[in-house]
């Protein structure tokens, strides 16, 4: 487990060092490009729930380009993310390219695709597969004007090649920096 946390921390540090270079692509981004979230993942397969009914989940997002679509009452951003969700020795680490759509009133949605690196329950073998996520969220601010921008998200995470053992719903609370 310590190796897994070390690998996750190394991936986050590597992402933090390399992702800012992508900001040169397209329009320059400004403020709140980094998003950090933490929450719970609820696996849909019973073989995965045998490990635990609720798994730990966390993720880091980085906006590469803001305003790829801008219309009245709607805007969209493009970015990358790295996540971790797991319990004990079972986990998935998806690395995704994401599209965030922002609707009026703080409502938003996300859709992402990429690759996932996982360890399966029971067999314990490691697999790499096509990872995806789709979700809805709500943005709000804590504190007075200029306070911390927070968000709540409900996502469905999936991974191919593991008999749906790493598929399920996740609930996150996050902050933008």
3-state secondary structure 40-86: EEEECCHHHHCCCCCEEEEEEEEEEEEEEEEECCEEEEEEEEEEEEE
Residue-range definition of the domain harbouring residue 160: 2-176
Number of domains in the chain: 1
Q: Reduce the DSSP state of residue 22 to 3 states and report it.
A: helix
pLDDT exceeds cutoff 90 at 45: yes
Quick one: 18 exposed, middle or buried, by C-beta within 10 A (0-12, 13-18, 19+)? exposed
**Overall pTM surpassing 0.95 (yes/no):** no
Q: Of 23, 24, 4, which Cα lies nearest the Cα of 87? A: 4
User: Which has more confidence, 88 or 23?
Assistant: 88
Q: Is 165 left (phi over 0), alpha (psi -120 to 50) or beta?
A: alpha
CA distance 154 to 39: 10
pLDDT for 16: 46
What's the CATH number where 166 sits? 2.40.160.20
Q: Which of 29-33, 39-43, 46-50 shows the lowest per-residue confidence on average (mean pLDDT)?
A: 29-33
Q: Can you tell me which residue has the tokens 């906006």?
A: 63
3-state helix, strand, coil in the chain (%, to 5): 15, 60, 25
């Amino acid at each position: 487990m310590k190796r897994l946390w070390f690998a996750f921390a190394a991936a986050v540090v590597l992402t933090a060092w390399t992702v800012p270079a992508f900001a040169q692509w397209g329009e320059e981004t400004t403020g709140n490009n980094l998003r950090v979230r933490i929450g719970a993942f609820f696996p849909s397969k019973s073989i995965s729930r045998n490990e635990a009914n609720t798994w730990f989940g966390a993720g880091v997002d980085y906006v590469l380009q803001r305003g790829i679509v801008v219309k009245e009452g709607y805007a969209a951003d493009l970015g990358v993310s790295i996540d971790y969700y797991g319990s004990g020795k079972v986990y998935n680490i998806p690395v995704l390219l994401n599209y965030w759509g922002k609707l009026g009133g703080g409502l938003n949605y996300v859709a992402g695709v990429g690759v996932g690196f996982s360890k399966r329950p029971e067999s314990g073998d490691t697999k790499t597969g096509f990872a995806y996520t789709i979700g809805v969220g709500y943005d709000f601010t804590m504190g007075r004007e200029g306070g911390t921008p927070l968000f709540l998200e409900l996502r469905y995470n999936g991974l191919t090649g593991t008999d749906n053992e790493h598929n399920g719903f996740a609930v996150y609370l996050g902050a933008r920096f």
